[in-house]
């Protein structure tokens, strides 16, 4: 049951991140610490969780690791 719920949540968060950045910003306000912890502890889903994590920057409100690597 846990695996199914986790899979669905990751799919939902990924869909929201791709389709509606404003809504995903609200999602990350509440779930970003949990997503970061999950990326560290859950090795099975790490590759799916890392693109969902946002970090505060000096230039923008929040950015992902994918966005940071594009600027280099």
Enclosing domain of residue 36: 2-70
* The token pair that represents 54 in the structure block: 């946002």
Element (H, E) at 6: helix 2-19
User: What CATH number is attached to the domain comprising 26?
Assistant: 3.40.50.11260
Q: Are 16 and 29 in contact (CB under 8 A)?
A: no
Q: What is the pLDDT of residue 54?
A: 86
Number of domains in the chain: 1
- Number of Cβ atoms within 10 Å of the Cβ of 60: 10
Categorize the per-residue pLDDT at 65 as very low, low, confident or very high, splitting at 50, 70 and 90.
low
Segment 15-56, tens digit of pLDDT: 999 999 899 989 998 999 999 999 999 999 999 999 999 887
């Amino acid at each position: 049951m846990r695996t199914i719920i986790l899979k669905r949540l990751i799919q939902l968060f990924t869909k929201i991140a791709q389709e509606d950045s404003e809504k995903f910003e609200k999602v990350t306000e509440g779930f970003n610490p949990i997503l970061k912890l999950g990326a560290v502890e859950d090795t099975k889903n790490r590759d799916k969780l890392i693109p969902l994590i946002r970090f505060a920057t000096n230039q923008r409100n929040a950015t992902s690791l994918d966005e940071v690597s594009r600027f280099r």
